[in-house]
C-alpha cells in the first residue's frame, strides 16, 4: 500500500506521473495561478496597507506555484499498462474511504446538484471530487483547495 509523505509535490514524489494525472495537475496549478494573477491585478489599484500585505502573500504563493508547475512539466510520465488501467477506480456514484493523515473520511462522489458536504456527498466538480476520479485503492494524492494543499490516501472504494 502506498503511503503519503505529506509532501506530495516534493521533487522525489513528482518524479514519475501517470500522463493523464500529470495533465490534470498542470491544469489545476495553472488555474490557481491565473486566479492569483487576477487578484494581484485587482489589488494593484488599492493602496492601503492590508492590500499591500495581501499582495506580498499572493506573490509568494504565485512563485511557489510557478516552481511547482515547472517541476510538474519537467516530470517524467508513464502510460498505465492494460492490467493497471483495468483495476477498480473511483467513479461518480462511488463511496470512497480516505485517510487524510489525521482522520478517516467516507465520502460519496456525486453530481453538482446532489452535492451535500454535510452528509458526505461531494461534487465531482469540486477540487477533491475531481482529484478522486479514476484513482485506485492505495493511491496517495494531494489536492489544491481554497484552504491550501490537502493530502489523502484511498483506503476503499464501494
Domain boundary at 77, 99, 118, which?
77
Q: How far apart are CA 104 and CA 156, in angstroms?
A: 11
Instruction: Judge contact between 129 and 150, C-beta under 8 A.
Output: no
Residues 95 and 135 in one domain: yes
Strands of the sheet containing 140-145, edge to edge, are 121-123, 104-110, 95-99, 148-157, 140-145
Residues 98 and 153 in one domain: yes
Q: Note whether residue 57 is domain-resident.
A: yes
Domain boundary at 56, 77, 98, which?
77
Mean local confidence (pLDDT), 3-20: 47
Domain that holds residue 98: 82-157
Q: How far apart are CA 34 and CA 42, in angstroms?
A: 12
Closest CA to 85 of 149, 19, 148: 19
How remote is the C-alpha of 104 from its chain's centroid?
A: 18
Mean local confidence (pLDDT), 42-68: 92
Q: Note whether residue 10 is domain-resident.
A: no
pTM exceeds 0.85, yes or no? no
Residues 28 and 88 in one domain: no
Average predicted confidence (pLDDT) for the chain: 81
Domain boundary at 26, 55, 77, which?
77
Residues 95 and 40 in one domain: no
pLDDT at 150 over 80: yes
Residues 21 and 42 in one domain: yes
Mean local confidence (pLDDT), 9-27: 62
Closest CA to 144 of 152, 136, 154, 153: 152
Number of domains in the chain: 2
Amino acid at each position: 500500500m502506498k503511503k503519503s509523505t505529506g509532501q506530495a509535490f516534493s521533487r522525489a514524489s513528482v518524479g514519475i506521473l501517470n500522463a493523464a494525472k500529470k495533465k490534470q495537475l498542470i491544469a489545476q496549478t495553472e488555474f490557481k495561478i491565473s486566479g492569483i494573477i487576477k487578484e494581484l491585478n485587482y489589488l494593484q489599484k488599492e493602496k492601503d496597507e492590508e492590500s499591500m500585505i495581501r499582495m506580498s502573500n499572493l506573490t509568494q504563493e504565485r512563485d511557489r506555484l510557478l516552481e511547482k508547475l515547472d517541476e510538474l512539466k519537467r516530470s517524467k510520465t508513464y502510460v498505465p499498462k492494460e492490467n493497471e488501467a483495468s483495476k477498480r477506480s473511483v467513479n461518480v456514484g462511488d463511496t470512497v474511504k480516505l485517510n487524510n493523515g489525521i482522520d478517516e473520511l467516507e465520502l460519496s462522489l456525486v453530481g453538482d446538484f446532489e452535492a451535500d458536504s454535510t452528509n458526505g456527498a461531494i461534487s465531482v466538480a469540486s477540487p477533491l471530487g475531481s482529484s478522486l476520479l479514476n484513482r485506485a485503492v492505495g493511491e496517495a494524492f494531494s489536492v489544491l483547495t481554497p484552504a491550501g494543499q490537502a493530502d489523502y490516501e484511498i483506503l476503499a472504494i464501494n
